[in-house]
Amino acid sequence: QDSNAPAFGKGLFNLVGKDSTFSMKIGFRMQILGIANWEEGNNNDLVDPETRFMIRRSRLKFEGFAYSPKLRYKVELGLSNRDISGASEFTSNAPRYILDAVAKWNFYENFDLWVGQTKLPGNLERVVSSANLQMVDRSLLNSRFNLDRDIGIQLRHQIDVSDNFVIREKFAISQGEGRNITSANLGGYQYTSRLELLPFGTFKGDYQGGDLQREPSPKLMIGATYDFNQDAVKNRSNQGSYMTIDDESGFYSTNISTFFLDAMFKYNGFSFMGEYAHRDAKDPLAKNSDGTLTGDKVQVGSGLNLQTGYLFKKNWEVSGRYTNITLDQDITGKAPENQYTLGLSKYIAGHKLKVQSDISYLSLDAGKDELMFRLQMDIHF
C-alpha cells in the first residue's frame, strides 16, 4: 500500500479542502507514566514507596484554517482521566473534555484576534506544550502559579524591529475562572499582558523543551507577563479552589495579580529555561460577609525555576532543574520548598517518540522530605 498519510510525528492527517477552502492537521498523542515516591521516615531514611501508573495525557488535536487562510483555529480534546477531570457545578457537572477551542483571525497585518478557550499568554513553561517538555512534567512553580487556560479574547501582535530582533505582544481579556466554565462569570474579568523579546531572531524551539534543533547560533527569548484578575474568586487567580463564604452561599473576591519573568536560551544542544513568578492579592485572607475569616487564603508568594540541559549524541539528553517555592508564610502558613531534579531523556524521534525519566528530591523546610522517580513514554502522531 502506498503512503496516504504524513510521516510519523507530522499528524495523522493533513487535510486540504477542495479549492483550498480549509486545512486541518489532526494529531493524536499519549503518555504512559510510572511514578515511585518515597517519604522521609523517622530516622531520615526514605520509606513507604508509593507507586502509581497511569495514562498521564492523551489528546486529539485539530488545527488549520477555515474558509480563509486568515482564519485559523485550534481544537484540542483530552482523553485521559487526568486530562478531563475537574467537573464541578460550574462546568455543568460534566468532564472538561475540551482543552482548546479557539478561532484566530489575522484581521490586519501582524495583528491577530483570538476568540475562544485556550492557554493565556502566561509563563513560558506553561505555554510549552506538554508534548514538548524537557522533563517528565512541568515544575512546581508552574503548578503553583500558572494561568492555564481560560475563555475570552486575545490580541496578538509582532514587531520586526530589525532583520533579527523581534518583539511579540500579547493581550488577553478572559473570564478569569479557568477552562470549561458554563455558569455565569463570578467576580470580574482577568487581564493578561505579555511582552516577548527575541534579540537574535525567532527560533523553532522558543516554546519547546531542550535544544533538539541544536541551534548553530545562540537564540534567546525573554518574556514578561503581568496578569490582573479583578475580583477573583479562586485562591490561585483563575486556578485553585473557589473561596466560598457564608456557608457556601457566596464567594469571597479580591484582586489578584501575578507577575512572571522568564527566559529561554538555546545553543548547540545546550538549553536553559528560567522563570520567576510572583503572586499578590489586595486582601489575601478570605472573609465572610460578617468579616470573620473563612480559612481560605490566596496563595501569595514567589517561585523560581531554573532548568538546563544538554543534548548529547544520539539524542540522549541530561537535564537539571532547581525549583524554589516561597509562599508568604504568615498568610498561607506554608513553609518554603526546594526541589532538585535530574532528568534523562532519550529522544527516539524527537519529542514525538521519547522515553523520559527524572528523579526529584523535594526538601521541605517544614515536614518530611520526599524522593520521586518517574519514567514516561510519549508517542505523538
Contacts (CB under 8 A) with a copy of itself, residues 328-367 = 348-349, 352-353
Q: Binders of a copy of itself among 174-193, rule CB under 8 A?
A: 175, 180-185
Name which of residues 25 to 64 contact a copy of itself (CB under 8 A).
28, 30, 32, 37, 50-55, 58, 62
Q: Which residue in 39, 46, 103, 246 binds a copy of itself (CB under 8 A)? A: 103
Site for a copy of itself contains 314 (CB under 8 A)? no
To a copy of itself, the closest distance from the beta carbon of 369 in angstroms equals 18
Binders of a copy of itself among residues 238 to 257 (CB under 8 A) are: none
Q: Which is nearer to a copy of itself, 11 or 223 (CB)?
A: 11
Q: Is the CB of 91 or the CB of 302 nearer to a copy of itself? A: 91
Segment 109-168, which members bind a copy of itself (CB under 8 A)? 115-117, 151-152
With 0-12 / 13-18 / 19 or more C-beta atoms within 10 angstroms meaning exposed / middle / buried, residue 342 is middle
Residue range at the interface with a copy of itself (CB under 8 A); choices 14-22, 136-144, 241-249, 320-328: 14-22
DSSP 112-178: EEEEEEEE-S--HHHHS-GGG-SSSS--HHHHHH---EEEEEEEEEEEE-SSS-EEEEEEEEE-SS-
Q: How far is CA 289 from the centre of its chain?
A: 35
CB of 158 to a copy of itself, least distance (A): 24
Locate 248 and state its grid cell. Answer: 457556601
Q: 241-250 contacts: CB < 8 A, separation 24 or more?
A: 241/296, 242/90, 242/186, 243/286, 243/294, 243/296, 243/298, 244/294, 244/296, 245/286, 245/287, 245/288, 245/289, 245/294, 246/288, 246/289, 250/289
Closest approach of Cβ 233 to a copy of itself, in Å? 14
Strand pairing report for 166-174 and 190-198: antiparallel
Query: Of 38, 84, 302, 372, which one interacts with a copy of itself (CB under 8 A)?
Result: 84
| Binding piece for a copy of itself, criterion CB under 8 A, among 90-98, 224-232, 237-245, 320-328 | 90-98
Nearer to a copy of itself, 176 or 303 (CB): 176
User: Closest distance between a copy of itself and the C-beta of residue 142, in Å?
Assistant: 19
The window from 83-91, 263-271, 307-315, 330-338 that contacts a copy of itself (CB under 8 A) reads 83-91
Of 176, 332, 317, whose CA–CA distance to 254 is shortest? 176
Q: Which is nearer to a copy of itself, 285 or 377 (CB)?
A: 377
3-state secondary structure of 12: coil
Long-range contacts, 136-139 (Cβ 8 Å, 24+): 136/33, 136/343, 136/356, 136/357, 136/358, 136/374, 136/375, 136/376, 137/56, 137/374, 137/376, 139/275, 139/305, 139/307, 139/321, 139/323, 139/339, 139/341
379 lies in the binding site for a copy of itself (CB under 8 A): yes
Q: Tell whether residue 16 is a contact of a copy of itself (CB under 8 A).
A: yes
Q: Tell me which of 27, 59, 75, 311 binds a copy of itself, using CB under 8 A.
A: 75
Task: Decide whether 98 or 195 has the Cβ nearer to a copy of itself.
Answer: 98
